[in-house]
């Protein structure tokens, strides 16, 4: 039986980091190729308009969509590189000037992992830390018995077997199997 993943996607959280002016610029980037194709369609009077419209108009829509998507990706790369403490200007220039969208692919392959922030003081902390070095806030849940890290929502400690729900006394022994 397949396991259903009920975790919410973070797509909208990622889209929200793109600046509003990048959305406006991508709208303009969508309209420019579309307008250029409509201009070509209206300027060329030599062929049949019913033949030109089904060919040129979809090309304008496709060109506008590709250009708008590239502008949004470059805007995302700039803000995401800042968020990951990378050189945002250099990565944006690589994404713009590397041909065939190879710069965009390279960014997503080579980007640093995000560093989490402390929920209490908002200091940047290493993902392996159990406590914040600034305010001593507990970052990851630990077993009260052996003080080793546990997965949030676990019922028992995977290291010592301690009942994490009650955390009062040792874990009950498993019943003996009789033959």
**What pLDDT was estimated at residue 175?**
41
Total domains present in the chain: 2
Instruction: Tell me the DSSP string of 109-135.
Output: HHPPPPPPB-TTT--B--TT-SB-TTT
User: What DSSP line would sit under 12-62, residue for residue?
Assistant: HHHHTTS-HHHHHHHHHHHHHHHHHHHHHHHH--SS-HHHHHHHHHHHHHH
Q: For residue 56, what are the CA distances in angstroms to 67, 85, 133?
A: 16, 44, 61
Domain identity same for 48 and 80: yes
**Is the pTM here over 0.75, yes or no?**
no
Fill in the DSSP letter of residue 86. S
CB 103 within 8 A of CB 97: yes
Q: For each successive 10 residues of the chain (179 residues), what is the average pLDDT?
A: 56 90 94 82 66 75 92 96 93 95 95 84 80 84 81 83 67 41
Q: Evaluate whether 120 touches 137 at the Cβ level (below 8 Å).
A: yes
User: Which of 81, 110, 139 is the C-terminal boundary of a domain?
Assistant: 110
Tell me, yes or no, whether 38 and 85 share the same domain.
yes
Q: What is the DSSP letter of 169?
A: S
Do 106 and 122 lie in a common domain?
Answer: no
Residues 67 and 94 in one domain: yes
Q: Domain check: are 64 and 49 in the same one?
A: yes
Please indicate, yes or no, if residue 6 is contained in any of the structural domains.
no
Answer yes or no: are the C-beta atoms of 33 and 17 closer than 8 Å: no
| Whole-number pLDDT of residue 47 | 60
94 contacts: CB under 8 Å, gap ≥ 6: 103, 106, 107
Instruction: Please tell me whether residues 44 and 81 are part of one structural domain.
Output: yes
Both tokens assigned to 26 = 């991508």
Range of the domain at 19: 11-110
Question: Reduced to 3 states, what is the DSSP secondary structure of residue 156?
Answer: strand
pLDDT for residue 179:
39
Q: pLDDT at position 167, please?
A: 55
């Amino acid at each position: 039986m397949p396991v259903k993943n009920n975790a919410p996607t973070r797509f909208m959280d990622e889209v929200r980091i793109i600046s509003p002016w990048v959305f406006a610029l991508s709208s303009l980037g969508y309209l420019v190729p579309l307008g250029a194709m409509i201009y070509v369609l209206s300027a060329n009077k030599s062929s049949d308009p019913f033949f030109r419209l089904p060919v040129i108009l979809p090309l304008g829509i496709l060109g506008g969509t590709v250009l708008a998507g590239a502008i949004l990706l470059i805007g995302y790369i700039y803000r995401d590189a800042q968020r990951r403490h990378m050189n945002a200007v250099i990565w944006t220039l690589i994404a713009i000037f590397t041909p065939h969208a190879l710069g965009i692919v390279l960014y997503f392959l080579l980007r640093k992992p995000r560093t989490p922030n402390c929920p209490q003081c908002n200091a940047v902390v290493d993902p392996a830390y159990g406590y914040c070095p600034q305010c001593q806030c507990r970052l990851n849940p630990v077993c009260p018995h052996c003080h080793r890290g546990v997965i949030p929502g676990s019922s028992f400690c995977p290291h010592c077997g301690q009942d994490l729900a009650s955390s009062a006394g040792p874990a009950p022994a498993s019943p003996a199997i009789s033959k």
